[in-house]
Amino acid sequence: MVRLQDIQNNEDIKALIEGANKNLEVLGYTEHGLRHVTRVSETASRILRELGYPNRLVELAAIAGMMHDIGNCINRKNHGIAGANLLFPILLKMKMPMEDIVCVLSAIGSHEEQYGSPVNEVSAALIIADKIDAHRTRLRKNIAYDPKNIHNRVNYSIKKNWLVIDKERMNLRYEMIMDMNLSCPMDFLEIYSTRMRMCEDAANFLNCSFELVINDFILNRPNYRR
C-alpha cells in the first residue's frame, strides 16, 4: 500500500512540486510550494476524516493534496490534467493499486476552477481544501508587496483563516479574519467568487452546505443547493 509518507519521500514527486512552484514564481503567482500542498493535503484529509469517511479515502485525499499542483511544472493552463498524466507512470511504478490511482488522478484532473467539478469524495475534499487556502503567508518573501495587485492585497489582508467541519449540521464553514485597512470582501469576491461557488458544489457533493464568513459576516446562503 502506498502511504502519504511514501509520496512525501519520493524524490521525483519532490522535484515536480518544487519545479511547479518555481514556474509559478516566475509567472508572478502566489506560493504554490510545499507550504500550500501540505496545507491542502492536511485540510482535504481532515474534511473526509471528520465527516466519517473510511481511512483509505482519508489517506487518498492527503495524497492527492500533496500532488495536486505538480502539473504547473509543464504549464499553468490545464495543470490539473497535465499533473494527472504526469503522475500515472509514477504511481504505477510505486505499485499503487489501480483503483486508488484512478481516484487520485480523477481528483487532481478535476480540481481547476476553469473546468473542474467534484467527481468523487476525494475530489470534493481536494477542491475545498485548495480553494480556501487564501492567507498572507502565500505572498512570496522575495517579491515586494504590491498593494495595486489584487491577489497580493487580498492574500495579505487575510490574517487568519480556518475551516469548521460541523458533522451534526453537515456544514463546512470557512471563516477568515481580514484586515479591512488592506483589502475588503468585495476584493476577495472579485478573485474568489467562482472558487467559493465551486466549494459550495463540492460541499453539496459531500451532502454538506458551505458557508463563507468574513469578519463574522456570512456572505452566502449556506443551505443553498445549486
Nearest Cα residue to 164 out of 210, 217, 224: 210
Can you read off the three cell numbers belonging to residue 63?
495524497
Least Å from the CB of residue 17 to Fe ion = 11
Residue 218 C-beta: closest distance to Fe ion, Å: 25
Distance CA 174, CA 219 (A): 11
Q: Work out whether 130 is an interface residue with Fe ion (CB under 5 A).
A: yes
CA distance 63 to 112: 17
Strand (E) positions, the chain? 158-166, 171-178, 209-214, 217-218
Stretch that binds Fe ion, among 64-72, 146-154, 190-198, 205-213 (CB under 5 A): 64-72
Binding segment (CB under 5 A) for Fe ion, from list 51-59, 69-77, 91-99, 212-220: 69-77
Smallest gap, in angstroms, from Cβ of residue 32 to Fe ion?
A: 6
Answer for which of 69, 100, 200, 211 binds Fe ion (CB under 5 A) is 69
Q: Which is nearer to Fe ion, 72 or 209 (CB)?
A: 72
Q: Select from 48-56, 86-94, 125-133, 207-215 the region that touches Fe ion (CB under 5 A).
A: 125-133
Binding-residue pattern over the window 5 to 34 for Fe ion, x denoting contact by CB under 5 A = ------------------------------
- The CA-atom distances, in angstroms, between 191 and each of 16, 35, 136, 151 are 27, 21, 15, 8
- Residue 163 beta carbon to Fe ion: minimum distance, rounded to whole angstroms: 15
Site string for Fe ion, 167-206 (x = CB under 5 A): ----------------------------------------
Min. distance of Cβ 179 from Fe ion in angstroms? 23
Q: Which is nearer to Fe ion, 128 or 212 (CB)?
A: 128
d(CA 23, CA 16): 11
Length of the chain: 226
Q: Can you tell me the distance from the alpha carbon of 220 to that of 36, in angstroms, rounded to the nearest whole number?
A: 25
Query: In what side-by-side order are the strands of the sheet with 217-218?
Result: 158-166, 171-178, 209-214, 217-218
Nearest distance in Å: CB 49, Fe ion: 20
Given a contact cutoff of 8 angstroms between Cβ atoms, the answer to whether 150 and 134 are in contact is: no
Instruction: Pick between residue 69 and residue 121 the one whose CB is nearest to Fe ion.
Output: 69
Residue ranges that bind Fe ion, judged by CB under 5 A:
69, 130
